[in-house]
Chain A
Amino acid sequence: MSAREREIRKQARSAKLIAIMAGKSSRNRSLSDKICRFLVNRATAVKPEDDFMRDPLIDNDVGFDPDELDRFQRGEK
């Protein structure tokens, strides 16, 4: 077996493990699910100073007030 073939097999095993962990992490019910959730969370977390997804518009959003939306929908200012 060539080195490339071995590398593909290794990466394929890793991809399967990631998929299983992501599936269990998404379900997040049993203890093993929660362990997967924790591990996936930790593996994907980024330090705040390196976090390219931080954005004030998103981070500071608090949504809308339901009465405000009701009035808006009725055309009232």
Chain B
Amino acid sequence: MPAPSTFDPQEVVDAQYQERKPRPGVTTKRAICTTCDVMCSVVTESKNGRVVRVRSSDNPIFRDNICMKGIVAPKGFANPNRILHPLKRVGERGSGEWEQVTWEDAFADIGSRLQAIIAEHGPEAWAVSTSQWNTGTDHGLGRRIMNHIGSPNWTSGVALCAGNTAAINRYTYGWFPASDYAKTKCIVLLGHNPSRHSWTPVYNAIRQAQARGAKLIVADPRRSSGAERADIWLPLKVGSDAALLFGWLKVIIDEELYDKDFVENWTIGFEELRQRVDEYPLERVAKLTGCDPEMIAKAARMYATEGPSIIPWTPITDMQRNSTSAIRLQCILRSICGYLDVPGGETLQGFPPDLINESLIEMHHVLSDEQKAKQLGSDKHPAFTYRGQERFRAPTKKVYGQEYANIVMGCYLTPPSALFRAMAGEGAYPVKAFFFLGNNPMMSYPNMKLIIKAMMNQDLIVAHEQFMTPSAQLADYVLPADSWLERPFLLDHFGAASLIRISEKSMEPPGECRSTFEFWKGLAGALDRQEIVPWDTLEDFYDYRLEKLGVSWEEFAATADVYFAPPEFLKYRKTGFATPTGKVELRSSSLEELGFDPLPYFREDPPVDPDYPLKLFTGVREDGFFQTGHRHIEEMRKRHPEPLAFVSPGTARQLMIKEGEWIEVENELAKISMKVAIKDAMPDGLVRIPHGWWKPEMKQGAGHLSGALEYADAQLCRDDEDFLDQEQGIPHLKGVPCRINKVTQDGASAETVAEVEYA
């Protein structure tokens, strides 16, 4: 932190020098990079109508929030393999034979075929999967159309990343909080490792907080870069996060480090929680997590006494067998330590200010109760489905002013595995039409083999995409999508925070690429339901969304880089919490009503299978890529030419594998090829698998899928009940049993070398 200096008014007069002056022939626009879901505010520079550079924002509050993926975007979107025109399949599904058609002809055929499927099987036979940072301008319009047509079967990658956290947070205190990095005194990272080129603004915020004196606690099996900077590093066993948090609660409750006034006045179920926590003495927690009990206690005390502290959202606990309990335990820690809705803690901000929010646009009220009840997976794993979220309607109306709050798009989802089973003909009813937008579903959910079977069993598949992904290769139609350089955008921070940001359109989309807004508007027209999307243009739609502010999109975008609502704290003192009891539910009445344990618990791993003695974890991003994207960008591939499996030096020695050697990683479902990377930071017995690998340059079509069948981690991700979270039905990706096979030079399996017992 720089030392304070004397204020000199002349410096204000001269301050303009800090702004970058426009360069001759260069047009600048303020944009939001949606290369990943962190969404940095940046500036684009264009020449001759084309974006040639992306740089960091001139606004000091967004200083340096840009990474390698952002700066290479102009070239990534100029790739000659980008899909520029609508394509219709003409051969067998997956044959790779396409013909170019017009948007109008495509929509006419899609509309009539979708209507025929709905007439035969019902509207619930139509399912959609999206990733909304990729699609950008969806803004709830897809759900709006589905709700009017009558289908509840919408899913997304947010089912196992952030969206599910938002939904589970509601069970404890009714909303998904935002962490106040600016004023916090202690940060806890559970397996998460933001770095200069991944989660850049979060990394920036953490480093600023540390420079200010805030403590950092990292719980991670790896000695990550974050762990090396931490005040306390807890090297826990992979997937044991919930057990660790039980240990923290044991210390905090036993030593009475919690906020007694808050617990007494604003929570229910503390005594039952205490009894449950007593089942986790530190000796047991140490055994479950592999961590030193003294260090567990030290970290717990630091969290409880150095505060206000934050446990920012982490994708790691979104993807575990005990996900619901691990998320709930984080909520409980925030609550009983008095960190809810205070400066420096976790703030409950409500809907974005002065904006017609996406939950309203989605119009969930028009979907009948009968159709909501048909949502696949809601019988066994209801936590983030309509059924699971039903009890929050009235309290959300009372506290936040409307019944439906689809926070982070994660509160009314179909659990993905239930959806794909139905698509494969193994569900309660058939699903025969599948649309995916900005999403590569085959590689984004567990059990890729099932998803391929499901897709091959469809009557109609429509993809809205920029590139011919493995999933798009199995579609009937691939419709060309625009990019964040080529459209305006209004960011409402996933419907859960009190600020709005804008992104100006920087260039015209190439070829016939269209926005998601135009996709949904076209589909509504093709279904003879134009009235569902009545706005002529995206800008008209934004004018509608900004009505409460009394400004047009054009005016708003010209003046508001970012729009804040004044922060308010301790709002629950006036309104209560948006739970059925109005209190923080340490013991969840809603989970109990759904037939689940109302208190958190820890489900241990199944017994070790001697055939698969290692454990793998996946879901980790590589700096040059986001999810399954960006493998087509030469500059990024030079950094990551091949998929790398990380192992410790000890594991490499025991398995007799060498740096750079090709291996197979195998489990009951499949085997994939990786190159070995030996990392000191890895613990013995653990294999890190990169997420989302395929190679656009490899052969396309069924049976090949551009290398996805060779490299994609989704093939190893299990979705049997032992490996699903019970309440949500999302997969356990942090500790899946596996083994490593050596391969011969011709690529065939030579022998299994992982017959080593790991404790």
Asked if A pairs with B, the answer is yes
B207 contacts the other chain (Cβ, under 8 Å)? yes
Determine which of B11, B71, B180, B208 lies in contact with A58 in the assembled complex, contact meaning CB atoms within 8 Å.
B71
Residue-wise, chain B 38-81 has the 8 Å CB interface mask toward A (1 for contact) of 00000001011010111110011101101110010011001110
Q: Are A47 and B2 in contact (CB-based, < 8 A)?
A: yes
Q: How many Å lie between the Cα of A65 and that of B52 in the bound state?
A: 6
Residue-wise, chain B 549-569 has the 8 Å CB interface mask toward A (1 for contact) of 000000000011111101111
If A29-B559, A58-B56, A74-B80 touch, does A11 touch B183 (CB 8 Å cutoff)?
yes
Determine which of B12, B60, B344 lies in contact with A11 in the assembled complex, contact meaning CB atoms within 8 Å.
B344
Q: How far is the CB of B27 from chain A (nearest CB, A)?
A: 12
Q: How far is the CB of B606 from chain A (nearest CB, A)?
A: 42
Which chain A positions have C-beta within 8 A of B78?
69-70, 72-73
Q: Are B60 and A66 in contact (CB-based, < 8 A)?
A: no
Q: How many Å lie between the Cα of A11 and that of B66 in the bound state?
A: 30
Q: Are A69 and B562 in contact (CB-based, < 8 A)?
A: no
If A22-B61, A25-B59, A53-B64 touch, does A72 touch B75 (CB 8 Å cutoff)?
yes
Q: Are A61 and B560 in contact (CB-based, < 8 A)?
A: no
Q: How far is the CB of A36 from chain B (nearest CB, A)?
A: 10
Q: Are A37 and B560 in contact (CB-based, < 8 A)?
A: no
Tell me how many residues of A have a C-beta within 8 Å of chain B: 46
Q: How many Å lie between the Cα of A37 and that of B17 in the bound state?
A: 12
Q: Are A27 and B559 in contact (CB-based, < 8 A)?
A: yes
Q: Are A57 and B570 in contact (CB-based, < 8 A)?
A: no
Determine which of B2, B52, B61, B570 lies in contact with A26 in the assembled complex, contact meaning CB atoms within 8 Å.
B61
How many A-B Cβ pairs are below 8 Å? 136
Q: How far is the CB of B709 from chain A (nearest CB, A)?
A: 27
Q: How far is the CB of A42 from chain B (nearest CB, A)?
A: 8
Q: How far is the CB of B634 from chain A (nearest CB, A)?
A: 10
- Which residues in window 162-189 of B have CB below 8 A to A? 180, 182-183
Determine which of B67, B71, B563 lies in contact with A23 in the assembled complex, contact meaning CB atoms within 8 Å.
B563
Q: How far is the CB of B3 from chain A (nearest CB, A)?
A: 9
Residue-wise, chain A 1-28 has the 8 Å CB interface mask toward B (1 for contact) of 0001000100110111011101101111
Q: How many Å lie between the Cα of A74 and that of B79 in the bound state?
A: 9
B530 contacts the other chain (Cβ, under 8 Å)? no
Q: How many Å lie between the Cα of A28 and that of B12 in the bound state?
A: 12
CB-nearest residue of chain A to B11: A38
Q: Are A27 and B560 in contact (CB-based, < 8 A)?
A: yes
Q: Are B80 and A40 in contact (CB-based, < 8 A)?
A: no
CB-nearest residue of chain B to A53: B64
CB-nearest residue of chain A to B207: A52
Determine which of B56, B510, B562 lies in contact with A22 in the assembled complex, contact meaning CB atoms within 8 Å.
B562
Q: How many Å lie between the Cα of A35 and that of B16 in the bound state?
A: 10
Q: Are A57 and B79 in contact (CB-based, < 8 A)?
A: no
Q: Are B53 and A58 in contact (CB-based, < 8 A)?
A: no
Q: How far is the CB of B50 from chain A (nearest CB, A)?
A: 5
Q: How many Å lie between the Cα of A40 and that of B561 in the bound state?
A: 15
Q: How many Å lie between the Cα of A55 and that of B71 in the bound state?
A: 12
Q: How far is the CB of A7 from chain B (nearest CB, A)?
A: 9
Q: How many Å lie between the Cα of A28 and that of B559 in the bound state?
A: 8
12 contacts across the A-B interface (CB closer than 8 A): A8-B342, A8-B570, A12-B343, A15-B183, A23-B564, A26-B562, A41-B15, A55-B196, A57-B71, A57-B197, A72-B79, A73-B510
With A12-B569, A50-B211, A53-B63 already in contact, 17 other A-B pairs whose C-beta atoms are closer than 8 Å:
A12-B570, A15-B183, A16-B567, A19-B566, A19-B567, A26-B562, A27-B559, A34-B12, A38-B11, A40-B61, A46-B2, A53-B196, A57-B197, A58-B64, A58-B71, A64-B74, A73-B510
